[in-house]
């Protein structure tokens, strides 16, 4: 069954969406928001939308995209339209050879 909002048990921890249950080393919105330098040139900007449920990602080649936080930040790392990324410090390494370096 579904727990009520008032319970402090398992289900209560699932809300709001920003507080994803800690698995291995889950990435948080705070860690990915900001400006990133694309290894092929250009800057990516990642910001949460006003609801906090989605991320607005402005990419030099793809343009502006809005993605569900839970789709971008997965238990196994980052997922950007099927590309898998791994956050290591101030760098995201993607499985297509691209890296994003945090600049602000």
What confidence tens digit (pLDDT) does each residue in 23-48 have? Answer: 445 789 999 999 999 999 999 999 99
Q: Which residue has the higher pLDDT, 98 or 26?
A: 98
- What percent of the chain is modeled with pLDDT above 70? 76
Q: Which long-range contacts (CB under 8 A, 24 or more apart) does 97-104 make?
A: 98/38, 98/39, 98/40, 99/39, 100/36, 100/37, 100/38, 100/39, 100/44, 101/36, 101/37, 101/39, 102/34, 102/35, 102/36, 102/37, 103/34, 103/35, 103/36, 103/37, 103/43, 104/34, 104/35
Tell me the pTM: 0.73
Domain assignment of residue 56, given as a range: 25-102
Q: Establish if 10 belongs to a structural domain.
A: no
The mean pLDDT value of the chain amounts to 84
Number of structural domains the chain divides into: 1
Q: Establish if 45 belongs to a structural domain.
A: yes
Q: Establish if 49 belongs to a structural domain.
A: yes
Ranges 9-18, 27-36, 39-48, 50-59: which has the least confidence = 9-18
């Amino acid at each position: 069954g579904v727990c009520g909002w008032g319970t402090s048990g398992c289900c209560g921890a699932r809300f709001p969406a920003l507080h994803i249950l800690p698995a291995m080393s889950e990435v948080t919105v705070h860690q990915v928001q900001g400006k990133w330098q694309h290894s092929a040139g250009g800057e990516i900007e990642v910001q949460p939308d006003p609801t906090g449920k989605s991320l607005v990602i402005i990419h030099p080649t793809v343009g502006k995209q809005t993605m569900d936080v839970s789709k971008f930040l997965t238990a196994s790392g980052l997922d950007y339209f099927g590309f898998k990324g791994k956050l290591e410090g101030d760098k995201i390494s993607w499985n297509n050879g691209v890296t994003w370096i945090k600049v602000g």
